Each structure stands twice: as C-alpha cells, then as structure tokens.
Amino acid sequence: MGWFERQAMGRSAQETEKEHARYIRAAMVPEALEALAGPWGVRRFLVRFAQQGALVRVGAIESMPLQWGGGPPPEDVTGDRRAGLAQALTRLHKNMAIGPRWERGVIGYLRSRDGQIQLMVLYDEDADMADLSKLPAPEPPGHPLEDPSYPALVAQHEPKMHQIHARTSMIGGDWDVWDLDGKRLVLHYPRERRIHDCQVLGIQDTERGRFLWQTDAALFSEPAFADRAFPCDWNGANELCLLAAARLGADWLFVGDLGDGRVLFGAAR
C-alpha cells in the first residue's frame, strides 16, 4: 500500500486529492513554483524535496529541453527562487504534520505555451517511483520567444539593438503628452514639440502578462513575429521590440504609457 492509499482511508481518490490540494494552496507552493518557472514559457520538470530537521530542502530539479523550445526552468543565479520554494514546502510540511505526514516528495510541473499549469505531487514511497520520462510533455507549438530561431536572431542583431537602446535612453521619456496618428508621432514638451516617424509594433499588457502585436501583418516569418499574442513580461517584450526595431532600421524605441496598465511600443526615426 502506497502513501496516497494510506491517506485515503476508505475515502474516494477525488476527495483525498482535494484535501491535499488545499494544503498545497495554503502553503503558497504554486506561487513559489511559478517564480521558479519564470513569468512565461513552456515548462516540464520534476522537483525533488525532503525533510531535514525542521526544514524542507529542495534537491534535484530534473528536466530536459523540449524539441520545440522550453522545458527546464530559467537559471536561478541568486538561488532566491529555489529558497522561496523551500520555504513554501517547509510551510506545507508543518501544515500537514498533524494529518497526512511525509518525509520526502516530488512535484511534477507542467506549463503550456498559453500558461496553463498542471501540478502532480507525490510523497514518500509514491515519490520514489516518479520519473521524468513518465511526465507528459506539453503539446507543441512552444512559446515563440523560446523557439530556437529567436536567440540566433538576437545574437545577429545585438549590436544594432544596443545602439537603439542607447539612443532611446538619451531621448528619455520626459514628454508631457504624446500623440500617434498613423506613422506620425508627436511628443509634446513644456516648451516645444518634436515630430518623429514611428511604426507601431505592439502592446504589452502588464497586468495580464501578455504581448500583442499591433501590425497589420507579421513583420517577419519567425514565430516571435508571426504569433499575434502570447504570454510575456516587460523584459521579454522590450527585447522583442528592440529586435523588431533593429530589423526595421529604426533609430530608437518609443515606449508610450496608455494609462490603463498597458504600454505601446513603436519603431521610431
């Protein structure tokens, strides 16, 4: 008899799973896993953990890159995300100490291109049978910014992207009001106004964590430009628009606040 069967004690599997899921949510384990997985991208990995004294330690994180991009979590340089997960698992262990106790476990984490998440948690002897090969793979296509073509494009255009970034920083964003009509961008300053040619690129919805292209047609053929909308954070959207501006021969990147939690990117000259 495995760990899960012992905890069921005659109850249905569905009822037992709901009880265990409440423990997971109360300890804020999903939030810690989301931080570990990064703000966007396809993910498929196992996290092993075990009790050590009064704490729970995170052990091996097992994953393999997917053919269409993504899979492992991003590099955790500082170790903060890993530490945050250990804290959440320690809370989980304390909360479950008076009921379904455990000493070790494993979490299977899956996230699709569109951000749909699945968690599979096993404890003690059930966890010993967990294997990465048994974890289902998210269906293709992958996330456009994890497509193998994307880092190659960034590397190819990186010098021009740095130039555009430097020029953008020099221009700043200290205008009072901006107007964009077609390709005519007007920046209103206290004592003057400046007119630029500007091609609208896309909108970053910071609250929803999504980027949406606003061009009439795809600028280029690669998935990063062909996919019209996808989960993304500010840093990812900014890099993507710098890349688009570089390929379009722009001088700087216009970033305009729309006043509703969204920002507009444009390739300006």
Per-residue pLDDT reduced to its tens digit, 165-176: 999 999 887 899
Q: What percent of the chain has pLDDT over 90?
A: 85
Name the band, by pLDDT with cuts 50, 70 and 90, for residue 251. Answer: very high
Give the residue with greater pLDDT, 35 vs 7. 35
Domains of the chain, by residue range, sit at: 3-134, 144-268
- Sign, Cα dihedral of 217, 218, 220, 221: negative
Question: What is the C-alpha to C-alpha distance for residues 43 and 21, in angstroms, rounded to an integer?
Answer: 21
Contacts 24+ apart (CB under 8 A), 246-252: 246/157, 246/160, 246/161, 246/164, 247/157, 247/219, 247/220, 248/199, 248/219, 250/164, 250/199, 251/164, 251/167, 252/164, 252/167, 252/168, 252/171
Q: Mean pLDDT over residues 149-171, rounded? A: 96
* pLDDT reading at 252 higher than 80: yes
Kindly report, residue by residue over 43-70, the tens digit of the pLDDT: 999 999 999 999 999 999 999 999 999 9
Q: Mean pLDDT over residues 132-156, rounded? A: 94
* pLDDT reading at 10 higher than 80: no
Of 97-111, 167-181, 205-219, 242-256, least confident by mean pLDDT is: 167-181
Q: Mean pLDDT over residues 6-28, rounded? A: 90
* pLDDT reading at 89 higher than 80: yes
Kindly report, residue by residue over 175-189, the tens digit of the pLDDT: 999 999 989 999 999
Which residue shows structure tokens 């300890």? 27
pTM: 0.88
